[in-house]
Structure 1
Amino acid sequence: MSDPLRRIDALVDEDTLPTPQIRKQLRLAAGLTQTEVANAIGVKRLAIARWEAGLAQPHRGNRRAYAHLLRRLAAKHPDAIKEG
């Protein structure tokens, strides 16, 4: 997803996730650890690591919660969604 508008749309859609790179950038921009994100969503830290590495995708409820968190982080840290 190289088009900025598509990346932004991915952050707005209810359960669509941005690229793994942007997921990590958003977390780091907010100063959060993988453990903090995992605790907020209710998963293990390894799940967050795998989602940020693109090795796995969250399932249903976790996906919605993760997408919600990422949308909130993107609103607070809009510069973090810039790839490149």
Structure 2
Amino acid sequence: MSTAPELPKSIETLLNRAVGLPGPAERARLRLAGNLTQAEVAEALGVHRVQVARWETGRAEPRQPHRQAYAQLLHGLATRFPQGESDEMPR
């Protein structure tokens, strides 16, 4: 049986699962296709650059509210830069 202190964590877990994100490699591809740096993405989301790096390597997953904002950014980039259409060289 759930106790009151567990409720916020369980809700956070559900919210995190509810917002789908592409895999880590695709996250990096989309950022690069948009000619964005990790620092620019981090500043826009209000996190440290190292967090964006961790999200792009799969070492961490974003939590709310950053997850929702990151998902919106990635969706917008995916619309502009469908897979296979990027001429951007990895950097």
TM over 0.5, yes or no? yes
Q: Distance in 2 between matches of 1:32 and 1:60?
A: 22
Identity of aligned residues (%): 50
Q: Distance in 2 between matches of 1:20 and 1:26?
A: 10
Structure number having the greater helix percentage: 1
TM-score by length of 1: 0.76
Alignment partner, residue 71 of structure 2 = 67
Q: How does 1:1-84 map to 2 (within 5 A)?
A: 15-79=19-83
TM-score by length of 2: 0.71
Q: Distance in 2 between matches of 1:80 and 1:42?
A: 30
Q: How far apart are residue 32 of structure 1 and its match?
A: 0.3
Q: Distance in 1 between matches of 2:32 and 2:39?
A: 12
Give the 3 Å change call, closer, same or farther, for CA 80–62 of structure 1 in structure 2.
farther
In the alignment, is the contact (CA less than 8 A) between 1:26 and 1:74 conserved in 2? Answer: yes
Which runs of 4 or more aligned residues in structure 1 lie more than 3 Å from their structure 2 counterparts after TM superposition?
none
Instruction: Indicate the structure (1 or 2) with the bigger Cα radius of gyration.
Output: 2
Question: Cα RMSD (Å) of the superposition?
Answer: 1.9
Give the 3 Å change call, closer, same or farther, for CA 27–55 of structure 1 in structure 2.
same
Q: Distance in 1 between matches of 2:84 and 2:46?
A: 24
Identify unmatched segments of 5+ residues in structure 1: 1-13
Q: Distance in 2 between matches of 1:62 and 1:26?
A: 17
Q: Distance in 1 between matches of 2:84 and 2:63?
A: 24
Counterpart residue type for residue 42 of structure 2? A
Q: Distance in 2 between matches of 1:27 and 1:74?
A: 9
